[in-house]
Amino acid sequence: MTRSDPEQPKAELVIVSNRLPVDRVVNPDGSIDWRRSPGGLVTALEPVMRANDGAWIGWSGGTDPDLEPFVDDGLSLVPVALSSQEVEEFYEGFSNGTLWPLYHDVVAKPEFHREWWDSYVTVNRRFAEAAAETAAESATVWVHDYQMQLVPAMLREMRPDLRIGFFLHIPFPPAELFQQLPWRRQLLEGLLGADVVGFQRPGASQNFVRLVRQRVGHKTHRDMVYLPDGRTVQAGAFPISIDVEGLEQLARSEPVQQRAKEIREQLDNPKYILLGVDRLDYTKGIYARLRGYSELIAEGRLSVEDAVFVQVATPSRERVEQYRVLRDDIDRLVGRINGDLGRIGRPAISYLHSSYPREEMAALFRAADVMVVTPLRDGMNLVAKEYVACRYESDGALVLSEFAGAADELRQAFLINPYDINGMKASIMQAINADPKDLSKRMKAMRKTISEHDVKDWASSFLKVLSEARPMHHKQLRPARRT
């Protein structure tokens, strides 16, 4: 079945994201398989996709030119091809070398290259075309994240009948930073092709509306943008969440509890296990966090006999220069800290690059007394919510950066400013020495918050607002049955 096949059934709900929710794996005999990548987005969208003959459009991660649409475990997947030059210019270049640092407070210096932009436009058009071919009449298309910001307007031009939503998973910067972008107006106009533009935090939504007013000159009122052709665009905050129930169930399972115990034993049963889990990214604040921790040891406020910091940092985007440099810097820092402060069999930091299955992640969250999440800027940070979901006995402490979206909801965490290393150190000590009753009160409150708002609620609240956003459309999505 090819994409242009007129007989091909069209989808009532189309998801567009940079990556497909599956990874292509080549078996030893050369045959090809697809392995589901365990992201929360799939968990959230799977039930609505199934109820609505949904299709998912995304890049397969490789550079094979002609992968046909296929069905994997009941999900229709439409791969979009990228050439190796596009991987370099659109993905590593404009997406991760320009937009990512710019949208994260310019924590690293964004690079502006005209060829990268051209490639971004070309690839966005390819995704928009794939969506236009896949969507049924008056269908709903939900476009995701910073790699795809031109898709809404391109798609609207091709298919004005569609209902289009956009959600940005990362922060949206204040006007003062966004203004640097040579293509600022094009990006805003790209997003304005959507009926609803969603962000993680209310501040991001306000940044967007303000920029639209200033830069594009449209009339706005609160979260609404009024376009000259009579169309309206609604902006808003839709903080993403996780599969709280599923993760808690996993954390409660016998094998995970057993594994958590084993982890503590393997670490020689220290009094305190601190944990950091991040993609190895300069926005995550890993360097300052580990430095702060090493100072606590060096100053004698903690000892390697009593405490260990387990830092899981999965390398990512390794073809981008800044990521390679960061990895080297952190590798060196950990080596120095362990060399200076560790004892035989007692490293100050247990540093791991691996990517783990969900069971192992849950066991780590169960084993850790203090979870340390210190991004310099983060759209949400799911790790913080995952830790809370796993603490079903309402114990454990969360140290959380104010600059993560999650801080809006997890108010009872030990909130820190990640640039203030002394403050961060004091909060880590406060978390370690806290009265268990205090910890339990905090954890209970945070658990209540996340259990009232899981990832399925996130998806359905976005889709509900989207379905109400264009009254001239009468087709509604079928709600997913709760499982």
Is 320 a binder of ligand ADQ (CB under 6 A)? no
Judged by CB under 6 A, the stretch of 77-85, 201-209, 322-330, 372-380 that binds ligand ADQ is 372-380
Output 169 or 473, the one with its CB closest to ligand ADQ: 169
Q: Kindly tell me which residue out of 75, 150, 151, 240 binds ligand ADQ, with binding defined by CB under 6 A.
A: 240
Name the residue with tokens 């402060």: 341
Show the tokens assigned to 27: 């078996």
Is 355 a binder of ligand ADQ (CB under 6 A)? yes
Q: Kindly tell me which residue out of 20, 78, 383, 477 binds ligand ADQ, with binding defined by CB under 6 A.
A: 383
Is 450 a binder of ligand ADQ (CB under 6 A)? no
SS3 per-residue string spanning the chain: CCCCCCCCCCEEEEEEEEECCEEEEECCCCCEEEEECCCHHHHHHHHHHHHCCCEEEEECCCCCCCCCCEEECCEEEEEECCCHHHHHHHHHHHHHHHHHHHHCCCCCCCCCCHHHHHHHHHHHHHHHHHHHHHEEEEEEEEEECHHHCCHHHHHHHHCCCCEEEEECCCCCCCHHHHCCCCCHHHHHHHHCCCCEEEECCHHHHHHHHHHHHHHHCCEEECCEEECCCCCEEEEEECCCCCCHHHHHHHHHCHHHHHHHHHHHHHCCCCCEEEEEEEEECHHHCHHHHHHHHHHHHHCCCCCCCCEEEEEEEEECCCCCHHHHHHHHHHHHHHHHHHHHHCECCECCEEEECCCCCHHHHHHHHHHCCEEEECCCCECCCHHHHHHHHHCCCCCCEEEEECCEHHHHCCCCCEEECCCCHHHHHHHHHHHHHCCHHHHHHHHHHHHHHHHCCCHHHHHHHHHHHHHHHCCCCCCCCCCCCCC
* Least distance from ligand ADQ to the Cβ atom of residue 345, Å: 24
* Least distance from ligand ADQ to the Cβ atom of residue 279, Å: 5
Rg over CA atoms, the chain: 23
Judged by CB under 6 A, the stretch of 10-18, 376-384, 416-424, 458-466 that binds ligand ADQ is 376-384
Output 60 or 381, the one with its CB closest to ligand ADQ: 381
Applying CB under 6 A, the site for ligand ADQ has a residue count of 17
Is 361 a binder of ligand ADQ (CB under 6 A)? yes
Is 210 a binder of ligand ADQ (CB under 6 A)? no
Is 130 a binder of ligand ADQ (CB under 6 A)? no
Q: Kindly tell me which residue out of 83, 214, 253, 314 binds ligand ADQ, with binding defined by CB under 6 A.
A: 314
Judged by CB under 6 A, the stretch of 245-253, 257-265, 303-311, 379-387 that binds ligand ADQ is 379-387
Judged by CB under 6 A, the stretch of 16-24, 43-51, 105-113, 373-381 that binds ligand ADQ is 373-381
Long-range contacts (CB closer than 8 Å, 24 or more residues apart) made by 295-300: 295/421, 295/425, 296/425, 296/428, 296/429, 297/337, 297/341, 297/348, 298/340, 298/341
* Least distance from ligand ADQ to the Cβ atom of residue 380, Å: 3
The total of other beta-carbon atoms located within 10 Å of residue 425's CB is 20
Is 277 a binder of ligand ADQ (CB under 6 A)? yes
* Least distance from ligand ADQ to the Cβ atom of residue 408, Å: 12
Q: Kindly tell me which residue out of 349, 362, 382, 428 binds ligand ADQ, with binding defined by CB under 6 A.
A: 382
**In one letter, which amino acid is 442?**
R
Q: Are 107 and 282 in contact (CB under 8 A)?
A: yes
Output 111 or 359, the one with its CB closest to ligand ADQ: 359
* Least distance from ligand ADQ to the Cβ atom of residue 381, Å: 5
Output 61 or 301, the one with its CB closest to ligand ADQ: 61
Residues 162-201 interacting with ligand ADQ (rule: CB under 6 A): 169-170
Is 381 a binder of ligand ADQ (CB under 6 A)? yes
Judged by CB under 6 A, the stretch of 75-83, 87-95, 267-275, 381-389 that binds ligand ADQ is 381-389
Output 12 or 145, the one with its CB closest to ligand ADQ: 145
Q: Kindly tell me which residue out of 89, 189, 369, 378 binds ligand ADQ, with binding defined by CB under 6 A.
A: 378
Is 386 a binder of ligand ADQ (CB under 6 A)? yes
Residue span 388-427 as binding mask against ligand ADQ, x where in contact by CB under 6 A, dash where not: ----------------------------------------
* Least distance from ligand ADQ to the Cβ atom of residue 42, Å: 12
Residues 47-86 interacting with ligand ADQ (rule: CB under 6 A): none
Chain residues binding ligand ADQ by CB under 6 A are 169-170, 240, 277, 279, 312, 314, 355-356, 361, 378-383, 386
